[in-house]
Amino acid sequence: MAEVFNSAPHSARLYRAALFDLGALLARVFPLALLRVLAAWAGGLYALTHPGRVEVVRRNLLLLDSTLGEMNARRVYAEFGKTLVDYFHIGTRSQQKAMHFIGEIDGDNHLRAAQDLGKGALIVTAHFGLFELGGLLLAWQGFDALVLTYPEPSAALTRWRADFRARWKVGTLEVGADSFAFLQIAEQLRQGKFIASLIDRPHPTDSTPVTLPHGRALFSTGILLLAEHTGAPVIPATMVRRRDGSYHAQIFAPIFVTSRGSRADTLGFYSQQIADTLAPVLCAHPEQWYQFVPVAAPEP
């Protein structure tokens, strides 16, 4: 499906509820600036000791910019460390305090326009920046928001992250286990909900290649099928960390999916539209593309 807000496939040893508990505890106790420095250092160290994983990231980055190399890929891990710190820090503060981290919002008029249509909306983004913060933004602005997620490595972690979002009044809908999850999503859209998901990771059976500036990647297509079926607009969005540590939310113009002949033609066309919308932001901040699995499409 159009990918969901699930955890990156790091070592399953790192993706445990107990470690997330520890992260949240540290975020309550220690200053943000200190934790950011330590997390960046830890991310860099992880990259140094896991060259195979760094190579995957390097190959992904090459799709954006052919001059990016191993150092850039290592930097992704350092940035990811900082992003995790922000995630824990923001998630353990009130909605109001957390919203202070969003320093700039562009395009939220598209959200209001979508709400007026009454068909819900499908917010799509990449494994980029602090994408979870988008859920907070939606809830803060009064939208009934749901995040799609695949099951985490453990049920405990899935619950942990759902509870974490619930503090922000953002719901979680787990897909993958339930064969009728997409019908549930369609029903939620009919109720006017805003559903956020990730698109830049291929689904085993439902993916389509898109062209990025320096290569082709696979995007999952389930969200577009939902959009065509329900008439809900697809709204690309990004949440980029700026130099000052605050975040810039960019919400782009909605995309309305209508049939363009065959299903493959339709999915290919609109997936490319989404890729064309997101790619400039990814290219401007490649160090925040936390894409840890290979996404390059096979050559035709």
Partner 1 sequence: MAEITLDDVRKLLVDNCMLRVAPEKITPDTTLFGPGSLGLDSIDALQLTVGIEKSYGIAIKDPAVAKEAFQGVETLRQWLNRQPRPSPSA
Nearest in space to 292 (alpha carbons), one of 100, 127, 81: 127
**Smallest distance from the beta carbon of 267 to partner 1, in angstroms?**
11
Site for partner 1 in 27-56 (CB under 8 A): none
Nearer to partner 1, 147 or 239 (CB): 147
178 touches partner 1 (CB under 8 A): yes
120 binds partner 1 (CB under 8 A): no
Choose, by CB under 8 A, the member of 16, 169, 190, 248 that binds partner 1: 190
Report, in Å, the least distance between residue 166 CB and partner 1.
22
Q: CB–CB of 275/124 below 8 Å? A: no
Q: Residues 183, 253, 264, 284: which binds partner 1 (CB under 8 A)?
A: 183
* Single residue of 84, 139, 226, 275 touching partner 1 by CB under 8 A: 226
Query: Rounded to an integer, what distance in angstroms lies between the CA atom of residue 62 and that of residue 213?
Result: 9
Stretch that binds partner 1, among 56-64, 138-146, 222-230, 279-287 (CB under 8 A): 222-230
Residue type, 132: E
Q: Specify the residue, 86 or 228, whose C-beta has the smaller distance to partner 1.
A: 228
Q: Which of 21, 104, 187, 276 binds partner 1 (CB under 8 A)?
A: 187
Distance CA 274, CA 58 (A): 22
User: Which chain residues interact with partner 1 by CB under 8 A?
Assistant: 1, 175-176, 178-184, 186-187, 190, 203, 205-206, 222, 225-226, 229
